[in-house]
Amino acid sequence: MKPLLRNSCIRFAFLFSICNMAFLFAQTFTSSNLPIVIINTHGQTIVDEPKITADMGIIYKGDGIRNNVTDSINHYNGKIGIEIRGSSSQMFPKKQYGVETRDEAGNDLGVSLLGMPSESDWILSAQYNDKTLMRDVVTYTLTNSIGRYASRTKYFELVINGEYLGVYALFEKIKRDKNRVNISKLDSTGVSGDDLTGGYIFKIDKIEGTDTQGWYSTFAPYTGAWQKILYQYHYPKPEDITAGQKTYIKNFILNFEANMMMPAYADTVTGYSTILDVSSAVDYFIMNELTKNVDGFRLSFYLYKDKDSKNTKLFLGPVWDFNHGFGNSDYYDGALLEGWQLTYLTSNASFMTIDEFQTPFWWKRILQDKNFMSKVTSRWIALRKDKLSLSRINTIVDSLVVHLSESQQRNFVKWPILNVYVWPNPYIGGTYANEIAYMKNWIKQRINWIDKELTGTSLGIVTMRAAASLEFTLSQNYPNPFNPTTCIQYSIPEKNNVTLKIYDMLGREVAMLVNEEQQSGKYAVTLSSSSYNLSSGMYFYSVSSGSHAQSRAMVVLK
């Protein structure tokens, strides 16, 4: 997007302050392959709430192009409201923030940030206790790929008031919007008929802040429970939702929960499937069980309903918050490879006795429905052939490793925690590479357990057969130009011996990256210029597999 223009005096003052900050941190942070976000609070302290007014500038010249802290602010240059956000994450020194882009008068201003659709509400996610920096990003990427909306993401490096704060990820805040949760707009005029029926977004979450308003479920999470389930208003906001709208959505959920209590709740003609969009529940279950999310089904749990003329049913999602997923939790069996997390949350006596935040009773009823689990099995088998194949997940992870190869080093200099326990880590790898290896191995074994639990066998053979339809391809390396690392991706249609070689401008071989027999599938290989003493200049990389061969050019820029 084009920079937002301000009156010249304000713009000069902000740029002057940015230049001063650049001078302060230039010795330790001078440039990045990621966008650079610079925030100036003008001496104010960022607090939990309310948001304070600050200035934000973004240096972003496009993917694959290097950004320098001394470059002009070229992407966004304007006002924001900013506050610390999160619950348990607030105890960490690396804070995450809620940001609202604003005009000079302090009103919400929809803008496109880092290539995402225009909106005014954003989250600067710190990923502090996730030492891979990518559990949320991987999960949201996979969720979008299976056809369910999840936040778009973009990594950047953050500086606030001259202090370098490390690698962050820009997330879209969950909102009603044509590019986010695409349901009908509901305002104060929606008081009757079809207009009253939607759209609504609500959630089950921790109780915090001034926005925590809603209603308690009539039904206990389990027999004899001391806890209650609170459904919280999200859209319309608590201060905007009318009394009639509150009554409507409360009664809608009451009807759903009463149906779930009936002996014939699983009846396909009269049961819960007439109210709940079961396919959304299937996908929600799969994503939270793939990651074995200890908070899934009970916290950061969003639900929504459109107006009846669009869709009469209740939908589960969007998914949210996976820092504790993929084996990154030392409580509630989160690191164990086996077992449904939902079974634990609805049957473990210790958890059910001590934890304030329980799953609504109806999740256990859904889990007991054989028809629901049959749908889960069918969906899982279909997704494992492509969207949730292990090779695709590994490709996503490996691409992010390359993308973060430079910036994560600065991040862990700023926050030296790789060799330190940070709640709730079950594993302390000591290095970034070890953290990645642990997560990839955990995912591999978790997928294998789900395969066998649902189908009785590993679906690796199914995945390889599906991969046999692949074409031979060699992608352009990313980033390009690069320094010091880049990722080379290719696919092969059948099992064969594969070589991946690097040549200089004179055609001399300077590196052999791959020389082995590989199965049909997609692959990603990381090249480090320092490992092979590659100087600045143009090189060629070539992949050969059986009768197939292809080459591309790349540039090392030091």
User: In sequence order, what are the beta bridge partners of 171?
Assistant: 123, 153
More confident residue, 417 or 459: 417
Task: Name, in order, each residue with C-beta under 8 angstroms of 290's C-beta and a sequence gap of 6 or more.
Answer: 142, 388, 443, 446, 447, 450
Rounded Cα gap, residues 458 and 155, in angstroms: 34
Cα dihedral 189, 194, 196, 201 sign: negative
What sign has the CA pseudo-torsion 412, 328, 424, 154? positive
- Across 127-250, the runs of DSSP E, i.e. the strands, are 153-160, 163-172, 200-204, 214-216, 230-235
Average pLDDT over residues 130-158: 98
Query: How buried is residue 330: exposed, middle or buried, by Cβ count under 10 Å (0-12/13-18/19+)?
Result: middle
Domains of the chain and any CATH numbers: 8-172 (no CATH), 193-372 (no CATH), 390-467 (no CATH), 473-556 (2.60.40.1930)
Residues 6+ apart with CB under 8 A from 328: 129, 130, 135, 334, 335, 424, 425, 426, 427, 439
Which residues, in sequence order, are CB contacts of 155 under 8 Å at separation 6+? 34, 35, 133, 137, 167, 168, 169, 170, 403, 404, 407
* CA–CA distance, 441 with 268 (Å, rounded to integer): 39
pLDDT per residue as tens digits for the range 272-302: 999 999 999 999 999 999 999 999 999 999 9
For 520, other C-beta atoms within 10 Å of its C-beta total: 20
* Tens-digit pLDDT profile for residues 11-33: 334 443 444 444 344 337 999 99
CB atoms under 10 Å from CB of 226, counted, come to 10
Arithmetic mean of pLDDT over the chain: 91
**3-state DSSP percent of the chain in helix, strand and coil, to 5:** 30, 25, 45
- Residue 269 exposed, middle or buried by CB count within 10 Å (0-12, 13-18, 19+): exposed
Residue 433 has pLDDT above 80, yes or no: yes
Reported as a single tens digit per residue, the pLDDT across 180-199 is 999 999 999 999 999 999 99
User: What percent of the chain lies above the pLDDT cut of 70?
Assistant: 93
Give residue-wise pLDDT tens across range 397-413: 999 999 999 999 999 99
Q: How far is the C-alpha of 344 from the C-alpha of 281, rounded, in Å?
A: 18
- For 159-177, what is the mean pLDDT? 98
Q: What is the mean pLDDT of residues 497-504?
A: 91
- pLDDT tens track for 517-548: 888 888 888 888 888 888 888 888 999 998 88
Instruction: Tell me the C-alpha distance between 521 and 177, whole Å.
Output: 37
Question: pTM of the entire structure?
Answer: 0.81
Short-list 303, 6, 59, 29, CA closest to 183: 303
Instruction: Please give the Cα distance from 134 to 443 (Å, whole number).
Output: 13
